[in-house]
Amino acid sequence: MRSFFLILFIQCGFATFIFAQEKFENEKRIEASKVPPSALTFISEIDFENKIKWYEENSQDGTSYEAKSKWNSYKYSIEFDENGQCLDAEKTIKWKRLNADLRKSILASLSNTFSKIKVSKFQLQLNCKQFMEEEIKGVELIQSENVFYELVIKAIKESNRKFYEVLMNQKGEMIKTLEIIDRPMDNIEF
């Protein structure tokens, strides 16, 4: 009996490890009235240039809410949990804005796992406190100590060309890699 539970535990752990390596998300646009009140309060303290668009996101991590807008000519996405607590803020910037040495370090790190790498999207990932206390006050955080980099890349791994989301630290070291799983088609397949 103990062997059965040990095998079951190992199999569940292995399945969790495999599924933790994949990223899927489904976003749908929602009205502000469907957003937790504390998220609305947080966002009201920021003077965004454009209208704020709200999204409900369902992913491998559960349900969250995102406020997307532009500020100082950058696209921002601020994510909240189901209770309206801020999880993180992301700022989309051009890959080339990152200093050449750090870009080289990031590409070298990626090259240990991937080949034929193309960066499709590059974002700074900030914690909410950094965002409120520094970013919106104009402090340049592109290579700050507590900033992480989130990249969406198209690359080859084990002879397969796929999209991946990679989280890296300020030294260019990979922290987390997720294979992006496309949403199933809405069409009926015969």
CA–CA separation, 146 and 128 (whole Å): 11
Listed residue (58, 140, 125, 118) closest to 90, CA to CA: 125
Q: Which CATH number, 3.10.450.360, 3.40.30.10, 3.40.50.150, 3.40.50.300, labels domain 22-180?
A: 3.10.450.360
Task: Let me know: does 22 contact 178? Beta carbons within 8 Å.
Answer: yes
Ordered per-residue pLDDT tens for the chain, 190 residues: 444 433 434 344 433 333 348 888 889 999 999 999 999 999 998 888 889 999 999 988 899 999 999 988 889 999 999 999 999 999 999 999 888 998 999 999 999 999 999 999 999 998 888 888 777 666 666 656 778 999 999 999 999 999 999 999 988 999 999 999 875 444 444 3
Checking phi first, is residue 138 left (phi over 0); if not, alpha (psi -120 to 50) or beta?
left
Confidence (pTM):
0.77
